Structure 1
Amino acid sequence: MTRNPARTIHWLATSLAVLALIAIIGETHHASAQGANSRANIMQVTLDGPVGPASADHIIRAIDQATENNSQLLIIRLNTPGGLDVAMRDMVSAILASPVPVATWVTPSGARAASAGTYILTASHIAAMSGATNVGSSTPVSAGGSGEDLDSKIINDAAAYLEGLAELRGRNVDWARQTVTDAANINATEALQLGVIDLLADDLQQLLAQLDGRQIETEAGQVTLSTQGAAVETIDTNWRYDFLSIITNPNIAYILMMVGVYGLILEFYNPGGGIAGTIGIISLLVGAYALQLLPVSYAGLALIVIGIAMMAFEVITPTFGAAGVGGVIAFALGSVMLMDTNDPAWQISLSLVAAITVSTGALVIFVLGAALKARNAKVTTGVEAMTGELAIAREDFETRGHVQHHGEIWQAVSRTPVRKGDRLQIDHVDGLTLHVSGVQTAPNDSHSNQH
């Protein structure tokens, strides 16, 4: 069949037109998507509560996510009473190194950026607050009771750190020192007047409207914000944050560590099951991971280990209570000293310490005591239980013959001659042979009574 050239050309032209139209539509959709993304590439994350390992991990991951998404701005909604110095410094370092501008916004009304929160707010590229919020009281909680010289060093270090952050962002350096040395605390209006923050905003739209067109210097260079009418994507917490929030609670970490110790003790008491030992090892490892994220006093941890060891020593080698009492005291002191911070939010509950101390002492004394008593008890079953028992000679023999023990006939070996009916003591068992020695000789007519 001959194909019509005109129809072929028409078909090709139509196909090309359809493909061109599809390409144009796709490009238009891509361009509009890019335009939408350029207006929606603002991300926000919330820090509500004490600054700790979980919140630091969450904020640092949010900065990384904003960077990967090429966002033009990351907003941190802040409300914190403070927290751990190490976690705060990790967050500040991430903010300073961020190529994406970070705007920390103390909100909602009634929120605060106290202690560690002041450092986070000051380190941010943009510092904002809602009405009826406050900032300050940045004296390190570790200062106090450690010695005057050490307190001065801690305070001066913190003051210099906050002053450096304020100077970097062009904010009030004098107040930065004052909030550390004198625990100064001011509201949002005063903070704006003193140059502690950059702007006031009571809602997100106000914040975005004031940020529109601002030029921000970051590690990656200067960024001009285009925030007017932009959509904002919220970064929610995930399972990792929830997991870290739970295990880095000092009380939970302490309980996990002790559950690990209990599991190993119970495995020692009843070896072979494996369940207690498995739970103990897992709990001990998770507890150890949590503790390495927290400010732990190694002296306190050493006292806990020594306390448990002393209580175990009391069970193994009785010292009339001296080691046991000393172990309980060492364990209690170590538990109280375990958290190397004066911040009440990161202390172990004293009632929990008391309960764990009593239960640990009881567990070590009674469980280990029972285990040792069981292990040292005389064997009552099996071949080992036959040693020391009596057997009756079934026949006369000089060195080797047969004896009866609990109704069973055994081969026996004796170093002295044996008469039928003699009561013989079993010295030890060698396979199916009993090694015996004479205990009581049978009377002359005993032969007639043995069968």
Structure 2
Amino acid sequence: MATRRRRLMFSFAFLILAALLIPIQSLVHSERAHTEEPLVYYIPVEQTVERGLEAFMARSFATAVEEGATHIVLEMDTPGGAVDAAGNIATLIQETEIKVITFVKSKAISAGAYIALNTDEIVMTPGATMGSAAVIDGAGNAAEDKTQSYWLSEMRSAAELNNRDPQYALAMADNRIDLPELGAPEGDLLTLTSQQALQVGYAEAVASNRAELLEYLGLENAVEREMEVSFSEQIARFVTHPVVIPILLSIGSLGLVLELYSPGFGIPGLMGISALLLFFFGHMFAGFAGWESMILFIVGFLLIMIEIFVPGFGIFGLLGIAAVIAGMLLASFSTASMLIYIAIALVITTVVAILIFRYFGQRGPMRKIIHTDSTSTEKGYISNATRKELIGQIGETLTPLRPSGSVVFGNERLDVVSEGGYIGQGKNVEVVYTAGSRIVVREVKEN
């Protein structure tokens, strides 16, 4: 009985102790949460804005959220880039609950300026610039009115998102706006220096380095972490660059064309396949291509290999090329852009192939790549012996010649062809010409 009573008292005491520890533990956690140092994540936004950068930014933001970052700093130095990639990055910034600051280290031009305007604050180094955000097409000309109108509305919305005067954002993208006091009279696009940006409210502060940036933000004791672009992401960013894509496609198609005219499988084929694999790898890693595009590419490659190694009528080669092009279109972030890239690659491939075959086919190392050898009588190749001794002999047609048929010369039967038209059966003919297996006869007219 006493033992049971002791057990009950022990259990009761344990419950009281547990009840007392719960609020103490909660208080400890609460105190730790209040004293925990802020975490700042630095994300580099460098070089051209393209879809590879977009994929890297998505990974970086996800990592920052997972690690519990309180601030994200975009360290920017970019000449701009693709409008669609910039739009997706802007959406990524708007959807995060973490405070995002742009630190312009050198320049935030074009799409870079648009991305910066979507962040909560902008801080610039003393020599940094921001602006010049007109939309241009692949040829370097101003985009069509519809695209310009869309881009101007996006620039306005980005400025108004954080209560900035939209006229300066519009002046960055529209040279019809006259702002001579900022060095942008009508006809010129607005590009702000750090002091000008501070003056018009497009920058909250000027800082020379990270330490001054953190001092302005009041984060001197913050924990700092830096996102780095992985090797795979560097490759993806390189191969998804708008200039690199048509180059890769040109190398790939040119390599396959040269392989079709060279014996076996060698350097041109490896060159072409490597370029196309690099294209698909970069687009898959950047998140644009799925396995269906890679499967189409592999099927197309196999069909092209069948065409190379198994002589046919070209149907396998055509199907293979169609499958590869379909895979490219599925892997692209823009079907229209990809069609333009493919057209550019086809033009480049055609021109370069013509130049190679015409001027280099018989010279230097190209002799080992392109098969140009041929068989001829001059080189000692004889498919059939030419029977010149038959010239002048008379024979009798065993079958009608229409214009080919059989003739008997003594005890020998030979296949011949008439010099002109039809010769009936049982007619006398004379051999007038021989070349290999070809024997030409003429009817002998009776007097």
TM-score (norm 2): 0.56
Deviation by residue 1:214-250 (Cα, 9 ceiling, x = unmatched): xxxxxxxxxxxxx341110011111122212433455
Map of 1:121 onto structure 2: 116
Contact 1:130 1:200 in 2 (8 A): yes
Counterparts in 2 of 1:154 and 1:303: CA distance versus 1, 3 Å? closer
Of 244, 256, 261 in structure 2, the residue corresponding to residue 264 of structure 1 is 256
Counterparts in 2 of 1:81 and 1:361: CA distance versus 1, 3 Å? farther
In the TM superposition, what is the alpha-carbon distance from 1:76 to its structure 2 partner? 0.7
d(CA) in 2 for partners of 1:134 and 1:275? 47
Counterparts in 2 of 1:54 and 1:377: CA distance versus 1, 3 Å? farther
d(CA) in 2 for partners of 1:239 and 1:233? 19
Counterparts in 2 of 1:191 and 1:306: CA distance versus 1, 3 Å? closer
Contact 1:389 1:425 in 2 (8 A): no
Of 125, 129, 134 in structure 1, the residue corresponding to residue 129 of structure 2 is 134
d(CA) in 2 for partners of 1:271 and 1:143? 38
What is the RMSD computed on CA atoms of the aligned residues? 4.9
Q: What does 1:372-383 correspond to in 2, within 5 Å?
A: 374=374
In the TM superposition, what is the alpha-carbon distance from 1:172 to its structure 2 partner? 1.6
Map of 1:216 onto structure 2: none
In the TM superposition, what is the alpha-carbon distance from 1:144 to its structure 2 partner? 9.4
d(CA) in 1 for partners of 2:333 and 2:212? 38
Q: Give the partner amino acid of 1:388.
A: N
Counterparts in 2 of 1:305 and 1:145: CA distance versus 1, 3 Å? closer
Counterparts in 2 of 1:265 and 1:368: CA distance versus 1, 3 Å? farther
Of 376, 380, 384 in structure 2, the residue corresponding to residue 388 of structure 1 is 384
Map of 1:88 onto structure 2: 86
State yes or no: 1:166 paired with 2:159: yes
Map of 1:197 onto structure 2: 203
Map of 1:97 onto structure 2: 95
State yes or no: 1:210 paired with 2:216: yes
d(CA) in 2 for partners of 1:307 and 1:203? 46
Of 317, 333, 343 in structure 2, the residue corresponding to residue 302 of structure 1 is 343
Q: Give the partner amino acid of 1:178.
A: A
Q: Give the partner amino acid of 1:168.
A: L
Counterparts in 2 of 1:307 and 1:250: CA distance versus 1, 3 Å? closer
Of 51, 54, 69 in structure 2, the residue corresponding to residue 53 of structure 1 is 51
Contact 2:50 2:241 in 1 (8 A): no
Counterparts in 2 of 1:184 and 1:91: CA distance versus 1, 3 Å? same
d(CA) in 2 for partners of 1:74 and 1:92? 14
State yes or no: 1:237 paired with 2:229: yes
Q: Give the partner amino acid of 1:179.
A: M
In the TM superposition, what is the alpha-carbon distance from 1:417 to its structure 2 partner? 12
d(CA) in 2 for partners of 1:258 and 1:134? 36
Deviation by residue 1:123-151 (Cα, 9 ceiling, x = unmatched): 0122222223222222223399868xx64
Contact 1:390 1:425 in 2 (8 A): no
Q: Give the partner amino acid of 1:185.
A: T
In the TM superposition, what is the alpha-carbon distance from 1:65 to its structure 2 partner? 1.3
Map of 1:284 onto structure 2: 276
Q: Give the partner amino acid of 2:193.
A: N
d(CA) in 2 for partners of 1:372 and 1:170? 70
Name the SS of the counterpart of 1:167 in structure 2.
helix
d(CA) in 2 for partners of 1:112 and 1:369? 47
Name the SS of the counterpart of 2:84 in structure 1.
helix
Map of 2:319 onto structure 1: none
d(CA) in 1 for partners of 2:150 and 2:126? 31
Counterparts in 2 of 1:264 and 1:139: CA distance versus 1, 3 Å? closer
d(CA) in 1 for partners of 2:357 and 2:250? 8
Q: Give the partner amino acid of 1:233.
A: R
Give the unaligned 5+ runs of structure 2. 1-24, 176-188, 284-327, 388-406, 417-436, 440-447
In the TM superposition, what is the alpha-carbon distance from 1:163 to its structure 2 partner? 0.8
Counterparts in 2 of 1:386 and 1:31: CA distance versus 1, 3 Å? farther
Contact 2:135 2:148 in 1 (8 A): yes
In the TM superposition, what is the alpha-carbon distance from 1:197 to its structure 2 partner? 2.5
Contact 2:38 2:70 in 1 (8 A): no
Give the unaligned 5+ runs of structure 1. 1-26, 213-226, 309-326, 332-355, 392-414, 428-436, 440-451
* Aligned residue pair count: 317
Deviation by residue 1:36-57 (Cα, 9 ceiling, x = unmatched): 9942522111223232333333
Name the SS of the counterpart of 1:44 in structure 2.
strand
Map of 1:71 onto structure 2: 69
In the TM superposition, what is the alpha-carbon distance from 1:119 to its structure 2 partner? 0.5
In the TM superposition, what is the alpha-carbon distance from 1:118 to its structure 2 partner? 1.0
Counterparts in 2 of 1:139 and 1:267: CA distance versus 1, 3 Å? closer
Contact 1:269 1:368 in 2 (8 A): no
